[in-house]
Structure 1
Amino acid sequence: MEIRLLRYFWTIADLGTISAAANQLHITQPTLSRQLQGLEAQLGTPLFVRHPKHLELTQAGAFLKSRAAEILTLTHQTEQEFAAQKQHLFSGHIRIGCVAADNSDTMAMLLEELVHDYPAVTYNIITGASDLIEEQLDRGLLDVAVLLEPVAAQKYHTLTLPRTEQWGLLVAKQSQLAHKSTIQPTDLADLPLMLSQRPAVQNMLKKWRGETIKPPRIIGTFNLIFNVLPLIEANLGAALSIQGITSEINPETLNFIPLVPDIKTRCILVWRKNRVLTPVVTEYIRRFKTAFGTKKAQD
């Protein structure tokens, strides 16, 4: 016997009419009448005596009402207990590292969902350069991290996030390049350039411009693009960056110009191999896999 049918029956018995019960249950009277007839057929006995303006419980109906009240009360209490356990039993702390990129909001969105479902969970978010995030991840100071490609696959489990990050130059409005819609390798010849200190990024740029093009003049390196924004605004040089951070810059002083041929990379969720994960961290990773597909996860 379904709990739903017991609830329908108990409401009819409590209010005394099909119409009042249907109104309270937010279903139509014909639907409720069919449900009651089906229940009586299932039990093999009438549950009500039908009068013109009300229903009267039969002896079997009175017996079922008392049992239904017990069952429905127990069901409600059980549901409440499970809800309370969901809110309080699943607790813990998660430490997340994240680079400044367009995919950063993905990290925040799934964390918001996790905390909504489990309010006892607490968290710490560290934003920084990939090298800093990787170092803290390797030292066990972070549980998971969102990094830009490439990453050391031999050290980490990885899950590739769907959105790509477009690379380009950040230049001052008064720069000679500011009027351009794209940046080609020849535009970098002898250009004063600020570049990420990550060897992977430097090698990516070298491969993109080729060996035959005169290289830019590397006037400085940085770990976070925000540290050099005042230097770019002063037109001391341009900086290689990703488009995902441009929402944080002042469009009145800086232009982002994409590279052509395109350089596009992705962000990757990573966590250390051979490390025991807490239930909170495991649940957070599971939500990424559910959202973006386990086929993209690599062990």
Structure 2
Amino acid sequence: MEIRMLRYFLTIAAEQNISQAARVLHITQPTLSRQLKEFEEKLGTDLFIRENKKMFLTETGMFLKKRAEEILLLNDKTEQEFLNKKQGLLSGHISIGCVEADNSDTLALFLEELIADHPQISFNIVSGTSDDIIEKLDKGLLDVALLLEPVSTEKYDKIVLPRQERWGLLVSNESFLANKNDLTVEELVGIPLLCSARLEVQNMFYSWAEIEEKELNIIGTFNLIFNVFSLVENRVGSALTIEGAISHRKSENVKFLPLVPEIKTNCVLVWKKNTILSPTVHKLIEKFNYAL
């Protein structure tokens, strides 16, 4: 697939109109129509459905859109790195994955220092679960990532951040648990729970509690804690989470109860082993290594 044709395809998908897309691309409408037809014939499938003078992606088109965005991101990133090398400047773009955690402010601190020293550098932070971020890291869409244990890191070089994250239960202030200061295993059993969808996290709780899966009443799962605040406030369930994920989302309607015995896990900064890193990414990792 030609990079040019992928750009054409994404422009048509964004504009939903071949004439408007042609104007954006500064080419004629017949030329763009012909190129799209040839592209669909080459792939052996329709990428768009035409309805009421608008163009909507087919299921295959939606799949290609995701892949095309990833391909173009890698292409642009590679071109920029070669340009930076040619100019001899410590500049360029860093893509960073980051989980919701108290250690996010550590990342912010080092980025602040990096930008202050090298103002030509720009960055993009992608938030998500460890699983989401790892997928993007493996595809080369991210340079480094801040992940929350438990997580498998065999494929990556890593730096363990010293400040640990404390796990507990987020409950409604109207819950009968709200007058407590912490929560034991026995008190957790039977409570309607909302938990991370990641199996590693669920298994961590089963191991901590020394109970079988069926003994924890997990009624729902989530990827980001932001999505379940209202569920906790309305007493649909109480959410197992880390304190750092909610520390900047203060609410008078919920309360965090640390678990007893205590569960603490680390955050780790990771990057792919045996991969060539740009000087800009090297500099960020250097700052972490020097400080930690």
Aligned length: 206
Residue 169 (structure 2) pairs with residue 169 (structure 1): yes
1:114 is matched with 114
| Residue matched to 2:256 | 256
User: Within 5 Å, which residues of 2 pair with 1:79-228?
Assistant: 89-211=89-211, 215-228=215-228
Q: Is the 8 A contact 1:186 1:214 kept in 2?
A: no
Q: What is the aligned-residue RMSD (CA, Å)?
A: 1.7
**Letter of the structure 2 residue corresponding to residue 185 of structure 1:** V
* Rounded Cα–Cα distance in structure 2 between residues aligned with 1:106 and 1:248: 14
Normalization by structure 2: what TM-score?
0.68
The secondary structure found in structure 2 opposite 1:252 is coil
Find the aligned partners of 2:221 and 2:211 in 1 and give their Cα distance: 21
Q: Report the Cα distance in structure 2 between the residues aligned to 1:261 and 1:247, rounded to whole angstroms.
A: 21
Task: Using the TM superposition, give the Cα deviation of residue 228 of structure 1 relative to its aligned residue in structure 2, in angstroms.
Answer: 0.7
State the Cα distance separating 1:91 from its structure 2 match. 0.8
- The 2-side partners of 1:115 and 1:234 are apart by 42
Larger deviation, residues 249-258 vs 222-231: 249-258
The 2-side partners of 1:208 and 1:247 are apart by 23
What is the CA–CA distance in structure 1 between the aligned matches of 2:88 and 2:287, rounded to whole Å? 19
Q: Is the 8 A contact 1:186 1:213 kept in 2?
A: no
Q: CA contact under 8 A between 1:88 and 1:120: conserved in structure 2? A: no
- Equivalent position SS for 2:246: helix
Q: Distance in 1 between matches of 2:92 and 2:212?
A: 55
Q: Are the aligned partners of 1:167 and 1:242 in contact in 2 as well (CA < 8 Å)?
A: yes
Q: Distance in 2 between matches of 1:181 and 1:143?
A: 40
Shift of 1:214: 7.4
Give % identity: 53
Q: Which residue is equivalent to 1:247? A: 247
- Return closer, same or farther for 1:213/1:153 CA change in 2, 3 Å cut-off: closer
1:272 and 2:279 are equivalent in the alignment: no
How far apart are the structure 1 equivalents of 2:107 and 2:186? 37
Give the AA of the match of 2:146. Answer: V
- Distance, in Å, in 2 between the alignment partners of 1:212 and 1:221 is 18
* AA in 1 matched with 2:208: W
**Aligned partners of 1:185 and 1:213 also within 8 Å:** no
- Residue in 2 that maps onto 1:67: none
Shift of 1:213: 10
How many Å separate the matches in 2 of 1:143 and 1:207?
Answer: 33
CA distance in 1, matches of 2:153, 2:164: 19
Structure 2 residue runs without a partner (length 5+): 1-86
Higher-Rg member (1/2): 1
**Contact 1:170/1:241 (CA < 8 Å) preserved in 2?**
yes
Structure 1 equivalent of residue 289 of structure 2 = 289
CA contact 2:137–2:271 (8 Å) conserved in 1 = yes
Q: What is the DSSP-based 3-state SS (H/G/I as helix, E as strand, rest coil) of the residue aligned with 1:271?
A: strand
Cα distance in 2 for partners of 1:143, 1:129 equals 16
Unaligned runs of 5+ in 1: 1-86, 293-299
SS at match of 2:164: strand
State the one-letter code of the partner of 1:124.
N
Q: Secondary structure at the match of 2:285?
A: helix
What residue number does 2:54 align with?
none
- Taking a change above 3 Å as real, the CA distance of residues 93 and 214 of structure 1, as seen in their structure-2 partners, is closer
Partner of 1:162, secondary structure, is coil
| Mapped partners of 1:122, 1:289: distance in 2 | 21
Equivalent position amino acid for 1:104 in 2: S
**If the length of structure 1 is used for normalisation, what is the TM-score?**
0.67
How far apart are 1:290 and its partner, in Å? Answer: 0.2
Code of the aligned partner of 1:98: C
